[in-house]
Structure 1
Amino acid sequence: MLSSTTRLALLLGGWLLLPAAGRAQAPYPAPVEGDFALPQFRFASGETLPMLNLHYTTVGQPRKDRSGRIANAVVIMHGTTGAGSSFLSDLFAGHLFGPGQPLDAAKYYVILPDAIGHGKSSKPSNGLRMKFPKYTYDDMVVANYRLLTEKLGVAHLRLVMGTSMGGMETWVWGYQYPGFMDALLPLASLPVEIAGRNRMLRKMAIDMIEMDPEWKGGAYTTEPKTGLAGAASSLIFMGSSPKQLQRLAPTRALAEATLAKTEASLYTALDANDFIYQFDASRDYNPAPHLAAIKAPLFAINSADDQVNPPELGILDNEIKKVAKGRYILLPITDLTTGHGTHSNPAIWGSYLQELLALTEKPKL
């Protein structure tokens, strides 16, 4: 049974961090945090940053095959406004990283990066504000590739997976570095340009912040609350499940109390400039023309009640045909699905992850 806090976090599509597992109870090795400095990092926009810091968390230990290559590395990428630590929750890590679980950390070396602009990685709120380079998902993938190859010594990945924004990065990984991984698992994402209602809601959220006089062109000293309130309304609409919100808040009083709790959490978690960058980073994302370049087996998993990637668009039904070893899995709406946030509940989709890992298991020599 999910706690009300966990269910609310899931219903918000991952915009709020899930409650972290207590270290004393966690059935997997203690996470280890680290940082990787990339001097003079050049972005796709042509801008450079004198020093880009990429923060990351690892769980488990790297293990090498007979050729001396790390063979058990898995990278998991978080969603918009999140961080690698988002995955260190009872709901996620507690169902994946423990003994006998799909990504048992005694067997796998799990790497959880903080994307550019998120978590403890370099971001506008560190000081540059709106002068921070205008990063994209491509920049995130390149930075993660360099983290793996230059810092962690990983030349090949057992699995690339991600949720929401991380799912979109997974598609990019597939065609940018097609020989780098054994398997791909994008969750809650579509491999096409962000357009239609999705882009409109993102742009509306950004506009609400920038129209608030207290934003001051990004030079605010206190968060522009009116703008963030408008942005929060887009987040709530995008990430929520009508069915589950009705169950969670079946009366006016409960609905308003749940909204107040949600807004308070978002106001505490969000920085206005970081938010603008995070939601605009998808502006040139579009894997569709490159899907035929993906070589590794790929399972794309979405939930039928996902308001960000609604199945009635029919997009994945068509685009998955371009992926040589691709499979589209649409999870039906149940009492357990929570809209977009279903991506963070492996109790629902973990069996497909196990199937993908078994399918791509290399025979032992």
Structure 2
Amino acid sequence: MKAQNTSLLLLLCVLFSHNLFAQAKYPAPVEGDYYPKSFVFSNKKTIDSFRIHYTTVGKPQMNSKGEVMNAVLIMHGTTGSGRNFLTDQFAGNLFGPGQLLDAARYYIIIPDAVGHGRSSKPSDGLHMRFPEYNYDDMIDANHLLLTQHLHINHMRLIMGTSMGGMQTWVWAYRHPGFSDAFMPLASLPVAIAGRNRIQRKMAIDLVKLDPEWKGGEYQKQPALGMRGAISSLIFMSSSPLQMQKSAPTREQAEAMLDNLEKRYAASLDANDFIYQFDASRDYDPYPHLEKITAPLFAINSADDQVNPPELGILEKEIKRVKKGRYILLPITDKTSGHGTHSNPTIWGGYLAELLKITEPDK
């Protein structure tokens, strides 16, 4: 009887998971641009017509005081943009009817970070004269977007993947009461050092060493330097298991490499890339973890080559977060290394739990 009950429970869990994460249609995304009257970077520099591009899904819901109560902020990773989340895998499993972030219930805001997507960036024209931004600048820009443009002073949830996950840690200690809950994915709450910084610095140096880079004043992308930089990016985001499954022969592996190089080369700009990879240079939530007061679930994958679990960092440091929890996803046929952060069918159950325990009193 016990075995039968266990089998029934497992079957119910599978059915529940399939229903919860079945891809579904969601309201059409709406894009917008915000031009703050003045934005001063952390290095005290400014630029003309500073732009923050963003996408929203769903509509704001107000309480009796006219305050938005259902806002969710989602932040993307390095070299990406908000469009990365508007996929069947991510939005199709989160924003649809009855799903965890059902856009009929939540007002989802997805900004392009400073230096990324359609927000202001070096390739707009300033090239290497663009202010050297950091994660604090990205957060300050998003805080302005939320509070001054969208008139939101409290969030239901702030979450992000990779760079967006790191920014979630910074949001949590810089603005601890701004959100009911925080969920950083694929990140660590310590300075970018060791292999992580070495890989980033190697990629930056490879671009700058290409004579065709010309101090950032190139007429066409410095192909040799970018190819070397892309090699670092491929290794950082790779999954040994998935690569072996997808390319079990030499010919398939080399074809995969060729496709990856072409895909990245088509979407990256050399100056933007340098700024994007260097923006994490002074990121370091470590001294501030005790300032985090809202519930925070930190989720990493055991096959993440950027944040390898053998470092043992989160097991130790999460104890300093008053309401923090660390979830390490085991390697399975469904995990995909660092990219597991964009697959809610794997970690969605933890998001459901976080939303439940932080549900505001009615």
Residue 132 of structure 1 aligns to which amino acid in structure 2? F
Q: CA deviation at 1:66?
A: 2.2
The separation in 1 between residues aligned to 2:185 and 2:99, in whole angstroms, is 19
Aligned partner of 2:288 in structure 1 is: 290
The separation in 2 between residues aligned to 1:33 and 1:112, in whole angstroms, is 9
Residue 52 of structure 2 aligns to which amino acid in structure 1? L
1:114-125 alignment to 2 at 5 Å?
Answer: 114-125=112-123
Aligned partner of 1:217 in structure 2 is: 215
The separation in 2 between residues aligned to 1:212 and 1:172, in whole angstroms, is 34
The separation in 1 between residues aligned to 2:264 and 2:76, in whole angstroms, is 17
Aligned length in residues: 340
Which structure has the bigger radius of gyration?
2
Aligned partner of 1:272 in structure 2 is: 270
Q: CA deviation at 1:26?
A: 5.9
Q: CA deviation at 1:51?
A: 2.5
Aligned partner of 1:176 in structure 2 is: 174
Q: Is the 8 A contact 1:39 1:49 kept in 2?
A: no
User: SS of 1:339's equivalent?
Assistant: coil
Residue 163 of structure 1 aligns to which amino acid in structure 2? T
Which of 338, 345, 348 lines up with 1:350 in the alignment? Answer: 348
The separation in 2 between residues aligned to 1:76 and 1:93, in whole angstroms, is 11
1:170-209 alignment to 2 at 5 Å?
Answer: 170-209=168-207
User: SS of 2:294's equivalent?
Assistant: coil
Residue 175 of structure 1 aligns to which amino acid in structure 2? Y
Residue 79 of structure 1 aligns to which amino acid in structure 2? G
Residue 30 of structure 1 aligns to which amino acid in structure 2? A
Q: CA deviation at 1:47?
A: 1.4
Q: CA deviation at 1:45?
A: 1.3
Q: Is the 8 A contact 2:72 2:108 kept in 1?
A: yes
User: SS of 1:203's equivalent?
Assistant: helix
Aligned partner of 2:244 in structure 1 is: 246
User: SS of 2:264's equivalent?
Assistant: helix
String of CA shifts for 1:92-112, please: whole Å, max 9, x gaps: 000000011100000000000
Aligned partner of 2:314 in structure 1 is: 316
Q: Is the 8 A contact 2:24 2:93 kept in 1?
A: no
Residue 68 of structure 2 aligns to which amino acid in structure 1? I
Q: CA deviation at 1:177?
A: 0.7
User: SS of 2:39's equivalent?
Assistant: strand
Which of 56, 65, 73 lines up with 1:67 in the alignment? Answer: 65
Q: CA deviation at 1:38?
A: 1.7
Which of 306, 309, 332 lines up with 1:334 in the alignment? Answer: 332
User: TM-score, normalized by length of structure 2?
Assistant: 0.93
Which of 232, 235, 239 lines up with 2:233 in the alignment? Answer: 235
Higher alpha-carbon deviation: 187-196 or 63-72:
63-72
The separation in 2 between residues aligned to 1:150 and 1:144, in whole angstroms, is 10
Q: CA deviation at 1:41?
A: 1.4
The separation in 2 between residues aligned to 1:121 and 1:348, in whole angstroms, is 30
Residue 85 of structure 1 aligns to which amino acid in structure 2? R
Q: Is the 8 A contact 2:24 2:97 kept in 1?
A: no
Ranges of 4+ aligned residues in structure 1 off by more than 2 Å: none
Aligned partner of 1:14 in structure 2 is: none
The separation in 2 between residues aligned to 1:194 and 1:39, in whole angstroms, is 32
Aligned partner of 2:131 in structure 1 is: 133
The separation in 2 between residues aligned to 1:238 and 1:37, in whole angstroms, is 34
Residue 246 of structure 1 aligns to which amino acid in structure 2? Q
User: SS of 2:47's equivalent?
Assistant: strand
The separation in 1 between residues aligned to 2:179 and 2:57, in whole angstroms, is 19
Q: CA deviation at 1:50?
A: 2.6
Aligned partner of 2:17 in structure 1 is: none
1:108 aligns with 2:109: no
Q: Is the 8 A contact 1:303 1:337 kept in 2?
A: yes
* Structure with more relative contact order (C-alpha pairs < 8 Å, separation 6 or more): 1
Aligned partner of 2:16 in structure 1 is: none
The separation in 2 between residues aligned to 1:165 and 1:51, in whole angstroms, is 25
Aligned partner of 2:12 in structure 1 is: none
The answer for unaligned runs of 5 or more in structure 2 is 1-22
Q: CA deviation at 1:49?
A: 1.6
Aligned partner of 2:14 in structure 1 is: none
Which of 262, 266, 269 lines up with 2:260 in the alignment? Answer: 262
The separation in 2 between residues aligned to 1:286 and 1:113, in whole angstroms, is 22
Q: CA deviation at 1:40?
A: 3.3
RMSD: 0.8
The separation in 1 between residues aligned to 2:252 and 2:339, in whole angstroms, is 21
Q: CA deviation at 1:39?
A: 3.2
Aligned partner of 2:8 in structure 1 is: none
Q: CA deviation at 1:162?
A: 0.1
Q: Is the 8 A contact 2:72 2:157 kept in 1?
A: yes
Q: Is the 8 A contact 1:41 1:50 kept in 2?
A: no
Residue 123 of structure 1 aligns to which amino acid in structure 2? K
